[in-house]
Structure 1
Amino acid sequence: MLKKLAKIIVEYRIAFGLVAVFLLVVSFYGIAQLKFETNLANQLPENLPAVQDYFTVQNEFQSNEVLIVVVKIKDIKEGGVYDIRDPQVIQGIYDLEQKLRQHEYITNTMSIADVYINVLGRLPKNREESKFVLNMLPEDVRNQLISSDYTTTLIIATMNREKNTQALVRVYNEIQNDIDSVKFPQNVEVVQTGTVGILYKFLLFMQHDMYLTMAIAFLFVASLLLYFYRSPIKAVIPLIPLIFGVIMTLGFMGILRIPLDIETTTVGAMLVGMGIDYGVHVTNRYYEERKKGRSIEEAAEESIAETGKALLGAALTTIAGFSALSISVLPGLRRLSLALIMGLGLAALNAVVITPAIIILEEDLRKLITGHYEIPETRSHSGFIAKVFELMGRTVRDNPWKFLALVFVITLFFGYGLTMVTTEVRFEKMIPQNIPEIQVMNDVRYEFGGEDELDVLVKADDVRDPNVVKAIYIFEQSVLSDSYYNNAVEAESIADVVIRKYGYIPEDKEKIQQALEEYQGTPLVSSDYSMTLIRFKGNFMGVSQDEFRKIIRAFEEEIQNSEFPPGIEVSLAGDTYLNYALDKLTNTELQRISTYGTLLVVLIVILLFRSAKLSIAMATPMFLGALWTIGFMGWAGIPFSQVLAGTISMIVGLGVDYGMHLTHRFMEELEEGNPYPIVTAVKSVGPGIFIGALTTAGGFLALLFGELTPMHDFGKTLAFGIFASMLASYLVTPALLQIFYGKQIKKRGEEK
């Protein structure tokens, strides 16, 4: 079947090439349609209670998004101010606040300038006046407005904006223009942070990282190919189908409206690394056949037919591993699954269809220039590399059990690393911690107790019921009294609104309604009075992942132990709680996806080869590569994130390829009567696996040049997984094949 297909591909190579060029042109249109996604809610399944409550809060109470503008003394230079209480600084804060209030999406603002307006009816004229007013304030109120060393203060604005990338960029730029247009005195730095500032930086890093890592991956892969093939032209041969595949994938993502998010941003660099493997194996087999004296057409047909068998199996198992991501309830992983399956399918198809056409074209052009064909010489099948793999083949043939003993020792080492693996899913932890937006956010948490917000949603027939309001007040005070455990430093609820007006909670529902109607702050009650929010502020996101889990669990325990009237529903909601929900899902999905991915890959291996011995020889390196990789993550302190939740399934899908190539060549040589099939298989296929692993790992390591932390972790983990799978295939597959078929080979040799 493959022999006939190979003849068709070689005979009609020009037609296939023209179809590929047409699809390439269509893909450029699709690339222009690509969109970036930064909304956390869209990273979670819609039927998740936390997501449903999130949208309920958004729809009923407008946005609870907080913009924080940090005004701080950055330098101590002569001619500038040294104290945030300086009237010039307060004037700048007032001017900036007025500009912010002009935007339709700003619902409320607060700063020390408001305190002076309320107390004096104007801004202070000198430092003495400024100090006097602040000293009048209760200490706890003053500490919420200004740092203890008087070098930092905040402008806090609540916002109501659309949750899309375009709105995010517009809002950030408009606010930054406001900041730049206000004249602050020397030594003062003004930085916007909070949700908008951090998400905007996250978006910039995603865009930057995608293009940079993809470019570096191409350069790295091209450099390796240049070294192994000793010719720029020959190095380009496996690259062209890869470029076609990557462009087509990104183009079809745009056409199919698959957005670029924290997961799918990695697709470009990943496809460069993985997709080159197919072209390398086809090219290597072609050059091997040409060295045997075959014509260019025969060599091309043989490379497609023989390598195609292993490539088909490798592509199917890799796609099976990636398809396990599609069963995830996380939309981002499902999108990543579709993008990678599509990309790998296109990469494999282009490698089989386009590579032979380019090779033959290159040979024909060379003949026109030089007048004759040249038998290509590559480093992968000659010199030091060839000797190393021949020696490896002979050694494993003679000492298979020693190789397996070495594998056992390595497995023990990485097995211990399994006990140290953690998770981290918060967006804020995914961007560099040394950027101004994060640094000032950490300052806010240190100086002011934190401005992270965690909402508690209360549902009732009528939240104006005095019994409900009293229960809210008791719950709120209970949470604040346990601030040591839950990090909450401030709260706002309808109970506070009522107590500020009356000094107590009246038994009359009408009085409660009157207080709520007079309230001018951010919405706390739904239009039909069936829901209300208790908004807690504190340092919830600036702690470690374990501490974050403890904080949320402390809130959940408070809810469970609360004494709300029967029929009242109380639940956590908002952006902060979404991060916790994502953390729980990531741990669950990691186990589920890894299990399904492994089962799918093993099933395909069994169906393709229908032999228990061959399946074990191919699949064992896959299991070991995955296990060693998780152990490496533990030793290296790399946590699982939503990006890395599908890593094990990916490594399983990729890792089986190397064992499959070795096994397929071994069986080919065994059937042809080769007395040393292990040596030949390792010597001939080993270099191709090595080149493929280097280029694949190189594509993944290009992610280290990105700014986002998960990209670094993703790149390091997948690159290690590739090398681990490669090493396992070199150590295990030939050893097992020698053990399983050694007697048969020996017997055949004795008969001859």
Structure 2
Amino acid sequence: MLKKLARIIVKYRVAFSLIALFLLILSLYGVQLLEFESDLTKQLPQDLPAVRDYLTLQNEFQSGDSALIIVKVASIEEGGVYDIRDPEVIKSIYELEERLREHEYVTNTMSIADIFIQILGRLPENEEEVKFVLNTLPPEALQGLISSDYRTTMVIATLTAGSGSQAVQRIYEDIERDIKEVRFPKNVEVIQTGTIGITYRILTMLQGDLNRTMTIALIFVAFLLIYFYKSVFRAMLPLIPLVFGVIMTLGFMGLLGIPIDMVTTVVGAMIVGMGIDYGVHVTNRYFEERKKGRSIEEAAEEAVAETGKALLGAALTTIAGFSALSLSLLPSLRRLSFALIMGLSLAAINAVVITPSLIMLYEDIMKKIKGKHEVPEIRAHSGFIAKSFNTLGMIIKGHPKTTLLAVSLMTLVFLYGLTQVTTEVRLEKMIPEGIPEIEAMKDVRYEFGGQDEVDFIVKAEDVRNPAVVRAIYRFEQEILADSHYNNVFETNSIADVVVRKYGYIPEDKEKIKEAIKEGGAPVNDDYSMTLIQLKGNFGGANPENFRAIMHYFEEQAKSADFPPGVEIRPAGDLYLNYVLDGLTSQELSKISTYGSVLVVLVVVLLFRRPLVSIAMVLPMFLGALWTVGYMGLAGIPFTQTLAGVISMIVGLGVDYGMHLTHRFLEELREGNPYPIISALEGVGPGILVGALTTAGGFLALLSGELTAIHDFGKTLAVGIFASMFAAFTVTPALLQIFYGKKIRGEEK
């Protein structure tokens, strides 16, 4: 069947090329429609209780994001201010607040300037007035606004609920413009951080990382191919179809409305890394057949037919591994699954259809230039590389059991690494150290105790019921009593509003209604819901403490002493991060198991030989085990980006064992007395080139700015090299053990 398909592809290569060109033009239009997404709720199932509570928070209480603007004396140059209490600084802060309030999405602002307006009715005119007002206030009133050394303060802007990359970009840029238009005194530095600032930085990094990593991956792959093929033009043969595949993938993502988020931003570099493998194997087999003296048509047909079998199996197993991601509860992983399957399918089709057409076109052009066809000499089949694979084949042929013993001893080291693996899903931890928004957030946590917020949604028939208000007050006091453990430094609720007005919580419901009406307490329109707002340092804690604090909040909500029929549940951005963390751990196990099972099923169905299947799939399991062990040893945590990495490595790792096994069986059928050596000599260079280019594509992710993208690139590159090493050692050793007697019998 593949022989017939190969003849059709060779015969109608021009028509197929024109179809590919049309799809390329359509894809270029789709690329312009690509959108970037950073909304955490879009990465979680919409029917999840935590997501529903988060949406309730936004819809019922108009709870949106917050912009924290740090104002600090960053230097002590002469002619500038040295203290944040300088009247000129306070005047500039108030001017900034006025500008912020002009935006329709800003619901409230708060700063030290407001204190002077409330007490003096105006801004202070000199430092004496500033110090007089601040000295009249209790220390706790200033703790959240002015640092102990009086060099840092902040402006807090509360925003209406909004989502989408365009809204975040607009708000961030508006606030940045306001900051620049306000003339702060010399020595004063103003930095925007908080939810908006960090989200905006992630969005800009996502856009930059997608373009940068994809470009570097293509350049790296191109140089590697030039080295192996000894020619720029021959290197372009597998590269051009790959570029087609990448553009088509991104184009169809735009046309189908699949956004680029923290997970799918790696698609471009991944398709470059993985897709080149297909084109390399077709090109290598073609040049190998030409070296044997076949015509260009015969060589193309043989390359498509014989390599096509292994490519079909490799593509199916890789797709099987990636399809496990579609079974995830996380929408971002499902989107990644679809994008990768689509991209790899396009890359494989382009490799089988476009690559032979380009090779034959190249040969025809060279014939017109030189007057005859010349058999090209490539580095992959000669010199040091060829000798290395011949030597490796002889060693494994003579000592298969010793080879497996050495691999087993190496595996013990990585088994220890498995015990050290952790997870991390907080968005701010995806940004590298040194970024202004993150450094400013550190100032907030160090100087002001933190401005992270966790809310508890309280649902009742009427939250103004005295029994409910008293229960809320007791709950707050219990939380504050554990502040040394939970990092909470401030709470706010309707109970606080009532206590501030009366000094106690009255039994008279009408008095409570009056206090709530006057105090602006956080309640919804029909008084069926209210909030208990906690502020503190939650997001800055290490992963273990963060989980412990969020778990503490969950347990407190479950054991809270509230009247019958009253519900209380944690909510908010940070709690969503915690929920995502738990889901990531669950999904990791599920996806890895399903991916492995699907790959094994595909291998068994394709080859229907138990021993052959074992030789193919064992390297992929070892590659995945070594990779996760490396993550533990290197301190790389599992993130939402890396949640499907095992499934990916399983899908990719089986390809190398499949190519070797397929060639071994082909040599065995033809009566070759040294099938192990011939298989390693024949497809070993192609696997090496494919692994180097694939790993190079992944290592290009190190050029990205986001920490999660760095970790993803390093981990997958290690996974590729681990799978290749396992395939070069374990697969041939097992095949030699399984088929040794038959081979020796044929030798006699």
With structure 2 as the length reference, what TM-score do the two structures score? 0.99
Residue 136 (structure 1) aligns with: 136
Deviation of the 1:141 alpha carbon:
1.0
Residue 636 (structure 2) aligns with: 638
Alignment check: 8 A CA contact 2:96 2:178 kept: yes
Residue 154 (structure 2) aligns with: 154
Residue 487 (structure 1) aligns with: 487
Deviation of the 1:157 alpha carbon:
1.4
Counterpart residue identity of residue 225, structure 2: L
Counterpart residue identity of residue 423, structure 1: T
In structure 1, distance between residues paired with 2:307 and 2:693: 18
Listed one character per residue, the Cα deviations across residues 273-314 of structure 1 (whole Å, up to 9, x for unaligned) are 000000000000000000000000000000000000000000
Deviation of the 1:662 alpha carbon:
0.2
In structure 1, distance between residues paired with 2:263 and 2:119: 51
Residue 681 (structure 2) aligns with: 683
Counterpart residue identity of residue 377, structure 1: E
Residue 570 (structure 2) aligns with: 572
Deviation of the 1:514 alpha carbon:
1.7
Residue 614 (structure 2) aligns with: 616
In structure 2, distance between residues paired with 1:716 and 1:172: 32
Counterpart residue identity of residue 6, structure 1: A
Alignment check: 8 A CA contact 1:172 1:197 kept: yes
In structure 2, distance between residues paired with 1:117 and 1:462: 36
Alignment check: 8 A CA contact 1:271 1:344 kept: yes
Note the residue ranges of structure 2 that are not aligned, 5 or more in a row.
none
Counterpart residue identity of residue 315, structure 2: A
Deviation of the 1:736 alpha carbon:
0.2
Deviation of the 1:140 alpha carbon:
1.1
Counterpart residue identity of residue 550, structure 1: A
Deviation of the 1:200 alpha carbon:
0.3
In structure 2, distance between residues paired with 1:684 and 1:46: 51
Residue 79 (structure 2) aligns with: 79
SS in 2 for 1:457: strand
Counterpart residue identity of residue 326, structure 2: S
Instruction: Please state if 1:744 is matched with 2:746.
Output: no
SS in 2 for 1:645: coil
Matching of residues 554-703 of structure 1 within 5 Å: 554-703=552-701
Alignment check: 8 A CA contact 2:64 2:162 kept: no
Matching of residues 185-584 of structure 1 within 5 Å: 185-520=185-520, 524-584=522-582
Residue 16 (structure 2) aligns with: 16
Residue 27 (structure 1) aligns with: 27
Instruction: Judge which range, 164-173 or 296-305, deviates more.
Output: 164-173
Listed one character per residue, the Cα deviations across residues 629-665 of structure 1 (whole Å, up to 9, x for unaligned) are 0000001000000000000000000000000000000
Deviation of the 1:528 alpha carbon:
1.3
Counterpart residue identity of residue 702, structure 1: A
In structure 2, distance between residues paired with 1:189 and 1:156: 16
Counterpart residue identity of residue 493, structure 1: S
Alignment check: 8 A CA contact 1:110 1:156 kept: yes
In structure 1, distance between residues paired with 2:67 and 2:737: 66
Counterpart residue identity of residue 690, structure 2: G
CA RMSD of aligned residues (A): 0.7
Instruction: Judge which range, 506-515 or 458-467, deviates more.
Output: 506-515
In structure 1, distance between residues paired with 2:733 and 2:421: 31
Counterpart residue identity of residue 680, structure 2: V
Instruction: Judge which range, 34-43 or 554-563, deviates more.
Output: 554-563
Instruction: Judge which range, 495-504 or 208-217, deviates more.
Output: 495-504
In structure 2, distance between residues paired with 1:547 and 1:455: 18
SS in 2 for 1:200: helix
Counterpart residue identity of residue 97, structure 1: E
In structure 2, distance between residues paired with 1:533 and 1:149: 34
Deviation of the 1:58 alpha carbon:
0.7
Paired residue total: 748
Deviation of the 1:499 alpha carbon:
1.3
Listed one character per residue, the Cα deviations across residues 14-59 of structure 1 (whole Å, up to 9, x for unaligned) are 0000000000010011111110001001110011110010011111
Deviation of the 1:252 alpha carbon:
0.4
Alignment check: 8 A CA contact 2:246 2:347 kept: yes
Matching of residues 726-745 of structure 1 within 5 Å: 726-745=724-743
Listed one character per residue, the Cα deviations across residues 411-468 of structure 1 (whole Å, up to 9, x for unaligned) are 0011110010000000010012211111111111011110000000111111111100
In structure 2, distance between residues paired with 1:647 and 1:631: 13
Residue 715 (structure 2) aligns with: 717
In structure 1, distance between residues paired with 2:181 and 2:326: 48
Deviation of the 1:128 alpha carbon:
1.6
Alignment check: 8 A CA contact 1:485 1:554 kept: no
Residue 706 (structure 1) aligns with: 704
Residue 126 (structure 2) aligns with: 126
Counterpart residue identity of residue 582, structure 2: K
Deviation of the 1:211 alpha carbon:
0.2
Give aligned-pair identity as a percent: 66
Counterpart residue identity of residue 441, structure 1: M
Deviation of the 1:510 alpha carbon:
1.9
SS in 2 for 1:420: coil
In structure 2, distance between residues paired with 1:649 and 1:196: 33
Alignment check: 8 A CA contact 1:497 1:516 kept: yes
Listed one character per residue, the Cα deviations across residues 470-527 of structure 1 (whole Å, up to 9, x for unaligned) are 000100111011011111110110111111122211112222122222234xx61111
Alignment check: 8 A CA contact 1:625 1:655 kept: yes
Instruction: Judge which range, 135-144 or 285-294, deviates more.
Output: 135-144
Counterpart residue identity of residue 335, structure 1: R
Counterpart residue identity of residue 65, structure 2: E
Alignment check: 8 A CA contact 2:64 2:161 kept: no
Alignment check: 8 A CA contact 2:58 2:161 kept: no
SS in 1 for 2:425: coil
In structure 2, distance between residues paired with 1:66 and 1:510: 33
Deviation of the 1:561 alpha carbon:
2.6
Counterpart residue identity of residue 559, structure 2: N
SS in 1 for 2:45: coil
In structure 2, distance between residues paired with 1:95 and 1:479: 37
Counterpart residue identity of residue 374, structure 1: E
Deviation of the 1:188 alpha carbon:
0.1
Deviation of the 1:667 alpha carbon:
0.1
In structure 2, distance between residues paired with 1:556 and 1:167: 31
In structure 2, distance between residues paired with 1:10 and 1:318: 26
Counterpart residue identity of residue 17, structure 1: S
In structure 1, distance between residues paired with 2:233 and 2:433: 43
Alignment check: 8 A CA contact 2:221 2:696 kept: yes
Note the residue ranges of structure 1 that are not aligned, 5 or more in a row.
none
Alignment check: 8 A CA contact 1:161 1:167 kept: no
SS in 2 for 1:108: strand
SS in 1 for 2:154: strand
SS in 2 for 1:145: coil
Deviation of the 1:79 alpha carbon:
0.6
In structure 2, distance between residues paired with 1:66 and 1:349: 48
In structure 1, distance between residues paired with 2:104 and 2:477: 34
Counterpart residue identity of residue 129, structure 1: E
Listed one character per residue, the Cα deviations across residues 212-243 of structure 1 (whole Å, up to 9, x for unaligned) are 00000000000000000000000000001100
Deviation of the 1:557 alpha carbon:
2.2
In structure 2, distance between residues paired with 1:223 and 1:132: 69
SS in 1 for 2:190: strand
In structure 2, distance between residues paired with 1:134 and 1:490: 20
